[in-house]
A and B are shown apart, each in its own frame.
Chain A
Amino acid sequence: MSIFLDENTKVVYQGLTGSTGRYYGNLNKEYGTQVVAGTHPKKAGTDVDGIPIFASVAEAKAETGATASCIFIPAPGVRGAVLEAAEAGLELVVCITEGVPAHDEAEFFNILKRDFPGTRLLGPNCPGLISPGKANVGITAGHIAKAGGPVGIVSRSGTLTYQALYELQQQDIGVTTCVGIGGDPVPGTSFIDCLEAFEADPDTKAVMMIGEIGGSAEEEAADYIKNHMSKPVASYVAGVTAPPGKKMGHAGAIVSGGKGTAKAKMEALEDAGVKVGQNPTEAGELMVEIVANL
């Protein structure tokens, strides 16, 4: 099994008519994803390389039975695109776009939580997700992922997500689903959402988690792992030697309460029984050990 995405997921691409949306929409389709539609308010009735364009997500859903969307709309239009997908009743909305204002993210996250609890948002500013061998939604290079299992991956960083897939493929280890949650201030899907889903997925036997400095999402995940997870976890946190980033004033420092450094995150994860690597390769090696002992 996989989480959130499989071969039956029908996906509408918001922004398919743009050059980036078209490129990745086609790549995803080639991979085997059911790319059923694109949307553009003024180009309904046309098509992009044979994929029909509808005026709205609601129309695309009505005509094709789409259950998910993938957003490649430029940042100023993301708020509207996310809400449109949620209002159309999609189950999964994957937002690839980077540079979305934090206030927009915080607002649509809470609107979804209040009005559309059935819609899962992934991103913004994320690489998407891939259930290797089944479907790929977003910008992950499909050929670097080995299908099957037993590992599930969740990552906050785009390129490190690919790195993790690649490290596992090099070791001939398969992946059930790899979820890139993105590194923005208010990600639609959190580490904990993914850990919960992996814990419940019978085919996922171990989880690889890639974090980075800033915020406290890794510490919260560590707390969840400690108290709720039976499956082993290997991890890497980027930014161990990074100079202290811009401090967001006094109020920001208080919110993080001393959390946020790579060291603090790694300690919290180790304390929760997670095997923590010093670089992505080492984390991959730790996962090899875990898989060998399953």
Chain B
Amino acid sequence: MDLLEYQGKQFFASYGIPVSDGEACQDVDTAVAVADRVGYPVVVKAQVHTGGRGKAGGVKLAENADECREHASNILGLDIKGHIVETIWIENASDIAEEYYASFTLDRSAKKHLGMLSAEGGVEIETVAEDNPDAIAKIHIDPAEGLSEEACRAWVEAANLNPAANDGTVDILLKLYTAYTKGDADLCEINPLILKPTGEVHALDAKVSLDGSAVFRHEEYVQYEATQPRDEREEAAHEKGLQYVGLDGSVGVIANGAGLAMSTVDVINQVGGEPANFLDIGGGANADVMAGALEVINNDPKVKSIFINIFGGITRGEEVANGIIEAMARVNIDSPIVIRLDGTNADEGRAILEPALNDKLMMESTMLDAARKAVELAS
């Protein structure tokens, strides 16, 4: 779950990391009021879930209230790569002496947390990694041990920042590590981390991605949920607790397990069709979940046929079958359905479906045959 910049800054601030004084706002008058409060010059920044805001005219410096009003009214409603700007962030502009890069993320390969720090901040860190990998100081942190101040200081010294920035950077990185672990983040990134002419170190940007699995211990995730970018189909699926990614084809896909769902999308492509979506109904799918999944797919006007691919482990065949029957009773499903059902209690499931089979509900015994049938029906 990716946070918008202002949410990231508020997240950082809640862990004591210094960020610029500012506020998020959704109309021009409030923007000017905030700018008057934090003091000019201010930066007016579009809050959207995409990069390249600066190039698109979504980040502007305002020296006074008139400029702030002008920029705010231009940026609000701006279309940045398909994202309409609804929220802007107004903050006091900072004087910058130097720009650094800092982040924490999980290194899946090492099974440890990875901290990266570079004196070359403010630019794409991928470029630094490619052109000058030695410019990035890395530290692997054992999650069972944590990050000590001593280790953090050695890491900061290895990054060869301006020595004047070392103390402030150590302080921020220790707090950032706490935010990263206590906040259950997949990623905490500051780019740029700046050294001001006055000697303070300060997070000028915030990129935070949180682990959706940790929502049970973070009430604050609810507010971030509300701003996630989703199309209508994805929104409807999300409300039903389904893992859904919208695609552009005509064969609706319902499968249990991410691997099987991906494999189903692959197989539809291989037999010459185009999947309309990726939809994983998860492990414990029951009649309600299946009915919900069918409703979501049925509401997609591009869908011409539906392929339900279930291999039962934790999902029992009779539950799947009952779900399909129940969903068909609840919703008027427009597209023909092709089912492939195997695994736990598959025979019981097939027996339940058998009497309901017709030219709108078909069953195939293999994944490939079912995919071929669904693709044929969609064309």
CB of B245 within 8 A of CB of A109, answer no
Contacts of A98 in B (CB 8 A): 282-283
Contacts of B187 in A (CB 8 A): 248-249, 251-252
CB of B214 within 8 A of CB of A103, answer yes
Known A254-B116, A254-B129, A255-B107; contact A106-B266, beta-carbon cutoff 8 A: no
Contacts of A278 in B (CB 8 A): 266, 270
Contacts of B336 in A (CB 8 A): none
Interface residues of B in 135-176 (CB under 8 A from A): 142-145
Known A76-B217, A102-B186, A103-B143; contact A238-B263, beta-carbon cutoff 8 A: yes
CB of B105 within 8 A of CB of A252, answer yes
Interface residues of A in 204-261 (CB under 8 A from B): 210, 212-213, 215-217, 220, 236, 238-243, 246, 248-255
Known A99-B213, A251-B103, A254-B116; contact A111-B144, beta-carbon cutoff 8 A: yes
Which of the segments A1-9, A155-163, A195-203 contacts the partner chain?
A155-163
| A-B contact list, 12 entries, CB within 8 Å | A98-B283, A101-B184, A102-B214, A110-B142, A127-B313, A127-B314, A157-B263, A166-B342, A213-B262, A220-B109, A251-B105, A255-B108
In chain B, what residue has the closest Cβ to A138? B313
A185 to B265, CA, bound (A): 23
* Residues of B contacting A: mostly: mixed
Q: Is A171 an interface residue (CB 8 A)?
A: no
Q: What distance in Å separates the Cβ of A150 from its nearest Cβ neighbour in chain B?
A: 24
Question: Which of B126, B184, B255, B278 interacts with A254 by CB under 8 Å?
Answer: B126
A99 to B247, CA, bound (A): 25
Q: What distance in Å separates the Cβ of A235 from its nearest Cβ neighbour in chain B?
A: 13
CB of A159 within 8 A of CB of B313, answer yes
Known A163-B260, A249-B105, A255-B107; contact A141-B313, beta-carbon cutoff 8 A: yes
Interface string of B199-231 (1 = CB under 8 A from A): 000000001010101101100000000000000
Additional A-B contact list (16), CB under 8 Å, known A101-B213, A238-B263: A75-B216, A101-B214, A107-B144, A111-B144, A114-B144, A127-B314, A139-B314, A140-B313, A159-B311, A163-B367, A236-B263, A249-B189, A249-B207, A250-B191, A278-B266, A278-B270
Q: What distance in Å separates the Cβ of B173 from its nearest Cβ neighbour in chain A?
A: 14
Known A103-B184, A110-B111, A250-B103; contact A279-B267, beta-carbon cutoff 8 A: yes
A134 to B278, CA, bound (A): 36
CB of B259 within 8 A of CB of A210, answer yes
Nearest 4 pairs of A and B residues by beta carbon: A157-B259, A159-B257, A159-B260, A101-B214
Q: Is B258 an interface residue (CB 8 A)?
A: yes
Number of A residues near B (Cβ < 8 Å) is 63
CB of B111 within 8 A of CB of A106, answer yes
Q: What distance in Å separates the Cβ of A50 from its nearest Cβ neighbour in chain B?
A: 22
Interface residues of A in 21-57 (CB under 8 A from B): 24, 27
CB of A215 within 8 A of CB of B109, answer yes
CB of A238 within 8 A of CB of B262, answer yes
Q: Is B7 an interface residue (CB 8 A)?
A: no
Q: Is A20 an interface residue (CB 8 A)?
A: yes
Q: Is B323 an interface residue (CB 8 A)?
A: no
A162 to B312, CA, bound (A): 8
Q: Is A100 an interface residue (CB 8 A)?
A: yes
Interface residues of B in 235-291 (CB under 8 A from A): 245, 247, 255-260, 262-263, 265-267, 269-270, 278, 282-284
